[in-house]
A and B are shown apart, each in its own frame.
Chain A
Amino acid sequence: MKETLLLTKHMREYPEDSHLIETYEKNNGYRALKKVLKEDNPEDVINEIKNSNIRGRGGAGFPTGVKWGFLAENEDRYLVINGDESEPGTFKDRILLERDPHQLIEGVIITCFASNIKKAFIYIRGEYAKPARRVQDAVKQAYEKGYLGNNILGTNFSLDVVVHLGAGAYICGEETALLNSLEGKRGEPRLKPPYFPAVMGLYNKPTLVNNVETISSVPWIVQNSGKEYSKLGVEGSTGTRIFSLSGHVNNPGNFEIEMGKSFGEFIDTFGNGIKNNKSVKAYIPGGASAPWFTGDQLDIKMTIDDVANAGSMLGSGAVVVMDEDTNLVYAAKSIVSFFAHESCGQCTPCREGTTWLEMILERIASGRGRLSDISLLIDICDNISPGLDWPPKMTTICPLGPSAVSPITSLLNNFSDEITNMIPTKIPITQ
């Protein structure tokens, strides 16, 4: 198994200074843009994206070409790049921002050209100070070289890009919350309908929201054609993806591969096996929101559909490996705490439910659990995500609340002993 380098090729080839415009230009950078501007046919660009069958890399996996097609007509339209990357386990956008900002900017310009957008925002989480600096520097260079601003490369096309810093709120990764945040409001997800960004987005104007990785793929697709791209990977999951591998592996990191190989192979090959030669007890296949797979499920294929069929999601492409010694109650508690901490607080079930789950796990972890807590945990989860199915049904506005359910059902379905063992049986149940 080998990496297929599309998005990370340039940074591998120029490890020292891949983020500078000179290096990027030297390595065929901005060629796709020049081609697009020369051909001057926005429709073609959208068609290439459609042909590539690329699906969004932000987590939901929505076909990008289809999304672009939804963008409503309007004098003012916006592109917003989602660089809020905060899903525990995920650090793949970070490398794209930090190491190859011009690839993203080129993608932004092409996307805006294709959709006749004159203002774009790159929203980067506030904690990504250094990546944001790199992008800001790159934007400045791009302006200086005439790739941004008025009459780009002498054409009629003009575009402004603003790099905007978030301020510590995972929920701002949810696209409508991100738009609220960018409008200077609380990062609360909006109601859908009516607030579908492509129709009513930033300032209630039609807005494309795409992930950093998605848009970073655009130059390659335009340069090499959508058809070439669609040949990579497998049907339904074309192209490459950058997977972030972390947890108990010997060699954590970001690895760009074609989709379709098994998790086991991926962990062995790139992670270089499990630390201290332990075995895998469980792993998270797509970020903290995703239900876990067990060590017995390592042969599941890394495609959007295979993972979904097995009851989880490829999500943000973050693989977190937990070895045989991991205390899964602690692990679950960590993830539940995360969602409780990051709940925006709008919906009753998410605001109250996630915190309640956290409190119960906390109690169990500190040895004060009760046997009735197990059924209580399940019932609370059921009230956030009725039926506890996958994909989750929700009593909430956005999927954050139900995300807190994933680790608990994962724990209780496959490792219920771990939790019951922590509940003291000798202590009387009444308080």
Chain B
Amino acid sequence: MSWEKELIDKANEIIELYPEKRSALGPLLYLAQEKDGYISNDSIIQISNLVGITEVQVKSVASFYSMYKEEQTGKYLLSVCKSISCEINDSRSVIDSVKNFTGLENYETDNDKVFTFEEVECIGACGGAPAVQVNYETVEGLTPEKSLQMCEWLKEERPELVVADELQEKFGGVKSFDWAIKDNTGSSYSVPGFQNIGTAKEKNL
């Protein structure tokens, strides 16, 4: 078995939340992804045992959703929005600038596993277009220059934890709405930081 006992305990805790085991499949896939940076076949086998469905059924579900990755992601997953509000606010140039800096095409990861780049559909930050997410932490009102700086900063600082408010303050611009009080929680890999699945962390800002 590929999972440590601790992780299996966590998984069982999550399964407990639902009337039927299979409902926990989504959260368990996030656990798998936090462990490896993608959904490995080993994890699929593990999960199929935990929720009582076949491996290919797990695979079928995992591959349906774009946030479950089939290949290992870098430490920072850069998701640049290209949907309509961002598109008409020149997200192209942000995309180009990120691509230039990282040298990556869509869905690629660099050899050092620092960045994974992807063009994504609407991330609900249309008022702050063009917008980007780093490990699902939203940064709004970017410009090509700011996005470049952000990538540089990430590459140099290598923060353990990505926090939306920190990035926004450093590199962001116009926002969809007032974010209000500063939030120091964030995520540390290509999974959303979320308490229920134990992927949310706090940072001293």
Q: Residues of A with Cβ closer than 8 Å to B? A: 11, 15-19, 76, 85-91, 93-95, 98-99, 119, 125-130, 132-133, 136-137, 140, 162-170, 181-187, 203, 244-248, 252-254, 284, 288, 318, 320, 322, 326, 330-331, 334-335, 337-338, 341-342, 344
Q: How far apart sit A155 and B127, CA to CA, in the bound complex (Å)?
A: 43
Q: Which of B121-143 contact A (CB under 8 A)?
A: 121-129, 133, 136-138
Give 6 new A-B contacts, CB below 8 A, not counting A162-B196, A164-B26.
A88-B85, A127-B79, A130-B193, A184-B24, A252-B176, A288-B84
Contact partner, B122, options A88, A183, A185, Cβ 8 Å: A88
Residue B10 at the chain A interface, CB threshold 8 Å: no
Residue B4 at the chain A interface, CB threshold 8 Å: no
A245 touching B127, Cβ below 8 Å: yes
A184 touching B22, Cβ below 8 Å: yes
Query: Within the complex, what minimum Cβ distance (angstroms) separates B132 from chain A?
Result: 12
Residues of A within 8 A of B205 (CB): none
Q: How far apart sit A107 and B63, CA to CA, in the bound complex (Å)?
A: 34
Contact partner, A130, options B30, B82, B183, Cβ 8 Å: B183
Known: A253-B176, A254-B177. A165 touches B87 (CB 8 A): no
Residue B7 at the chain A interface, CB threshold 8 Å: no
B84 touching A89, Cβ below 8 Å: yes
Query: Within the complex, what minimum Cβ distance (angstroms) separates B106 from chain A?
Result: 12
Residues of B within 8 A of A94 (CB): 124, 176-177
Q: Which of B56-97 contact A (CB under 8 A)?
A: 60-61, 64-68, 79, 82-85, 87-89
Residues of B within 8 A of A254 (CB): 127, 176-177
Q: How far apart sit A76 and B20, CA to CA, in the bound complex (Å)?
A: 13
Residues of A within 8 A of B60 (CB): 186
Q: Chain A residue with minimal CB distance to B58? A: A184
Contact partner, B17, options A89, A130, A162, A338, Cβ 8 Å: A162
B195 touching A136, Cβ below 8 Å: yes
Q: How far apart sit A431 and B66, CA to CA, in the bound complex (Å)?
A: 36
Query: Within the complex, what minimum Cβ distance (angstroms) separates A87 from chain B?
Result: 7
Known: A129-B137, A254-B177, A338-B84. A86 touches B124 (CB 8 A): yes
Q: Chain A residue with minimal CB distance to B27? A: A165
B121 touching A88, Cβ below 8 Å: yes
Known: A168-B67, A284-B84, A338-B83. A252 touches B126 (CB 8 A): yes
Residues of A within 8 A of B53 (CB): 184
Residues of A within 8 A of B24 (CB): 184
Known: A90-B124, A90-B126, A246-B129. A167 touches B26 (CB 8 A): yes
B88 touching A18, Cβ below 8 Å: no
Most central of B82, B174, B180, B192 by chain A CB within 10 Å? B192
A162 touching B193, Cβ below 8 Å: no
A127 touching B133, Cβ below 8 Å: yes
Residues of A within 8 A of B21 (CB): 184
Residues of A within 8 A of B20 (CB): 183-184, 203
Known: A184-B61, A247-B85, A331-B88. A129 touches B192 (CB 8 A): yes
Residue B1 at the chain A interface, CB threshold 8 Å: no
Query: Within the complex, what minimum Cβ distance (angstroms) separates B129 from chain A?
Result: 6
Residues of A within 8 A of B128 (CB): 252
Q: What are 6 A-B pairs with beta-carbon distances under 8 A?
A: A86-B124, A129-B193, A165-B27, A186-B61, A203-B19, A246-B85
B122 touching A89, Cβ below 8 Å: yes
A168 touching B65, Cβ below 8 Å: yes
Known: A95-B177, A288-B84, A334-B87. A246 touches B126 (CB 8 A): yes
Residue B51 at the chain A interface, CB threshold 8 Å: yes
Contact partner, B88, options A11, A129, A247, Cβ 8 Å: A247
